[in-house]
Amino acid sequence: MANTSAVYARIDTNLKENAEGILAQLGISPSSAIQMLYSQIVLTKGLPLNLHLPRTKPAAIGGMSRAELDAELTKGVESLKSGRIYTADEVDAELAREFGI
């Protein structure tokens, strides 16, 4: 069995619940997150915090109502009418920048 020690900390209840909700979405237990943080502190000799969920998700057509789909299509038509046109490469770059896809 591994040689382990307990770490105790008191933190705000809402902060704990919010953080644990995000960790659950990432598939990481609170204990694993602390282990990862400590390991990175040792490796980098600092606080390298960069684990996060995307701020927004691209809309999936299958999950949209008819009204939502119509609204999105209308925005696209208005964009074309106003002269805002994007190449496929520009769209790909924006999706990669905003959503990591």
Q: How far apart are CA 65 and CA 90, in angstroms?
A: 27
What is the value of pTM for the model shown? 0.47
26: tokens are 């990432």
Q: How far apart are CA 48 and CA 34, in angstroms?
A: 13
User: For 34-86, what is each residue's pLDDT tens digit?
Assistant: 999 999 899 989 888 666 666 666 677 888 888 888 988 898 888 888 988 88
Parse the chain into domains and list their residue ranges. Answer: 1-53, 61-99
Cβ neighbours, 10 Å, residue 33 = 16
43: tokens are 């490796």
User: For 21-34, what is each residue's pLDDT tens digit?
Assistant: 999 999 999 999 99
